[in-house]
Amino acid sequence: MNKKNSIPPIVAVIPAAGIGSRMQSSCPKQYLKISGVTILEHTLNALLKHSRISQIIVAISPEDNYFHKLSIAKDKRIITVNGGGERADSVLSGLTYVTEHFPKETWVLVHDAARPCLYFGDLDALIQLIDTKHTDSQFIGGILASPVRDTMKRSYQTNSHIEQTVDRTTLWHALTPQFFPAILLKNNIEKALSQNATITDEASAMEFCGYEPLLVKGRADNIKVTQPEDLALAEFFLSRQITRIRNK
């Protein structure tokens, strides 16, 4: 087998069935607009720019009346599946489609729908893990993350008083995409959920099952739009990206 044929397929999975209640908006937050384009479109375009990503699976709510009105929905590289009530349910729906329709060696990039400021260089560095680490028997994937910069405090569970200052030396902010073999990730999420484990991201399911994903340092401006004030910040970061591209 030559090197080209040994490269596994890569599919992106986007859980986009949430309603984003903290945004206090009239539509799900992924459909709010930044510079005239929805957050979800910015997110999808960031992934579509990478030639190694062959397909994007978007898990949307069965009641979603927005996605198919977007021009990007006509892109043949994008497929929709029904999402669920929780993030893990939507990710599993996407993973089920991948494992049923793509080769067993397929890898998946799971990326937040409301994380539109993904930097191409970070995405490329994450994808290159399978080029540089795939011969390592301990390698099972990794995530984008940024080192914690601020002083971290732990509060008491019963009130907001400070219990202690936490050493930030080994702490990271988990970002997305998160990058794993599709079948392995699907099996581990299902196992973790069956045992009532708390799954906050894909890496936490892998960790629960005994794996140690790699941390790939990414840009801190790869923010997730969660609060109303995040919109202006995301718009600023996206405008900076456009400026960098134009100045190259």
Closest Cα partner for 118 from 2, 219, 217? 219
Structural element, H or E, at residue 1: none
pLDDT digits (tens, 9 = 90+) for 81-107: 999 989 999 999 999 999 999 999 999
Give the pairing type, strands 214-217 and 142-147: parallel
CB 14 within 8 A of CB 90: no
The DSSP secondary-structure symbol of 8 reads: P
**Could you tell me which residues are beta bridge partners of residue 118?**
none
Confidence of residue 117 (pLDDT cuts 50, 70, 90): very high
pLDDT digits (tens, 9 = 90+) for 167-190: 999 999 999 999 999 999 999 999
Give the model's pLDDT for residue 128.
Answer: 94
pTM equals 0.91
Kindly give the interhelix angle for 87-101 and 182-194, rounded to the nearest 10 degrees: 140
Residue tagged 């739009």 (tokens)? 225
Give the model's pLDDT for residue 200.
Answer: 94
The DSSP secondary-structure symbol of 128 reads: T
C-alpha torsion sign, points 135, 141, 146, 152: negative
Confidence of residue 4 (pLDDT cuts 50, 70, 90): very low
Confidence of residue 245 (pLDDT cuts 50, 70, 90): low
* One CATH from 3.40.50.300, 3.30.930.10, 3.90.550.10, 1.20.1250.20 for 10-247: 3.90.550.10
Question: Distance between CA atoms of 145 and 161, rounded to whole angstroms?
Answer: 28
Give the pairing type, strands 107-110 and 10-16: parallel
Give the model's pLDDT for residue 3.
Answer: 44
How far lies 66's CA from each of 14, 33, 192, in Å? 15, 12, 32
C-alpha torsion sign, points 188, 77, 174, 224: negative
For residues 36-57, average pLDDT: 96
CA 124, distance to chain mean position in Å, is: 14
The DSSP secondary-structure symbol of 9 reads: P
More confident residue, 6 or 233: 233
Q: Please report how many Cα atoms fall inside a 13 Å half-sphere around the Cα of residue 109, on the Cβ side.
A: 32
Identity of the residue numbered 239: S
Residues belonging to the chain: 248
Give the model's pLDDT for residue 139.
Answer: 86
For residues 130-159, average pLDDT: 87
Which tokens hold the place of 200?
A: 């906050």
